[in-house]
């Protein structure tokens, strides 16, 4: 299987290097499932001071990332290949599990541009495929969003997680939030694990898990209920939960 390639353009490469050298992402790289290239935009600056930012035309607060080093870095990384290029920006569409699944299907490679300062020169928009945000808030740069995308996409690839069922059963994969999880000890400070989970009755366990998943979703993210394809049993459970609430 061909590995999936991520290229991150940043002026703080060590931020990326540190994260990808740990845990699941590190193992995915060692297994050849993914590749992560990190390119320092500053290496492509056009002056001796390696300047990557400048004052905005028209005035205004802050600095803007210059087009020349960014464009040169992007051209260098893409070469003659057609790579899906993403600008991390608070103006982009918010990352969802569905978008992570979509990105995991891309085989030609993904380039992630980590902006800084007040933003990047608008002319880079002619060289990108889409803008993505990880939420309606402002960060100091695009490095964290880039890592979030790498993590969200990588764990969907075969062989990255230890148990392939993890992707199937976790939050959002089926449109609902995940059910509660418990492990040893069976009792802690008077709080006991639900008896059904220790009963060995797999049919009842699955039923309990579905009920809890529906209940959590109703209480925490009710909007997801309307977006989920529900069975008749699900609808009956929801009506019972509404009465309880």
> Is 115 within any annotated ligand binding site?
yes
Is 170-244 in the same CATH topology as 4-154? no
Domain ranges, ordered by start, for the chain: 4-154, 170-244
Q: What is the pLDDT along the chain (245 residues), one digit of tens a residue?
A: 689 999 999 999 999 999 999 999 999 999 999 999 999 999 999 999 999 999 999 999 999 999 999 999 999 999 988 999 999 999 999 999 999 999 999 999 999 999 998 899 999 999 999 999 999 999 999 999 999 999 999 999 999 997 665 555 554 556 899 999 999 999 999 999 999 999 999 999 999 999 999 999 999 999 999 888 899 999 999 999 888 87
> Is 177 within any annotated ligand binding site?
no
> Is 134 within any annotated ligand binding site?
yes
Is the domain 4-154 a CATH 3.40.1280.10 member?
A: yes
> Is 87 within any annotated ligand binding site?
no
98 closest CA partner among 152, 22, 41, 37: 152
> Is 237 within any annotated ligand binding site?
no
Q: What is the CATH number of domain 170-244?
A: 1.10.1270.20
What are the pLDDT digits (tens) for 103-116?
999 999 999 999 99
What is the reported pTM? 0.88
């Amino acid at each position: 299987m061909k590995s999936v390639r991520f290229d991150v353009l940043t002026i703080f490469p060590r931020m990326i290097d540190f994260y990808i050298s740990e845990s699941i992402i590190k193992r995915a790289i060692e297994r050849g499932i993914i590749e992560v290239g990190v390119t320092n935009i500053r290496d492509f600056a056009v002056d001796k001071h390696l300047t990557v930012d400048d004052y905005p035309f028209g005035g205004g607060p802050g600095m803007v990332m210059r087009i020349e080093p960014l464009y040169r870095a992007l051209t260098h990384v893409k070469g003659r290949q057609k790579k899906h290029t993403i600008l991390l920006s608070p103006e982009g569409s918010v990352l969802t599990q569905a978008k992570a699944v979509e990105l995991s299907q891309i085989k030609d490679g993904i380039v992630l541009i980590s902006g800084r300062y007040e933003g990047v020169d608008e002319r880079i928009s002619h060289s990108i495929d889409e803008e993505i945000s990880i939420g309606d808030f402002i960060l100091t740069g695009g490095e964290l969003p880039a890592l979030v995308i790498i993590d969200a996409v990588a764990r969907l690839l075969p062989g990255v997680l230890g148990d392939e069922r993890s992707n199937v059963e976790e939050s959002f994969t089926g449109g609902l939030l995940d059910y509660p999880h418990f492990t040893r000890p069976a009792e802690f400070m008077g709080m006991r694990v639900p008896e059904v989970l220790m009963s060995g009755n797999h049919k009842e366990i699955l039923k309990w898990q579905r009920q809890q998943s529906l209940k959590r979703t109703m209480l925490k993210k009710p909007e997801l209920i309307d977006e989920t394809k529900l069975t008749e049993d699900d609808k009956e459970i929801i009506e019972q939960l509404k009465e309880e609430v």
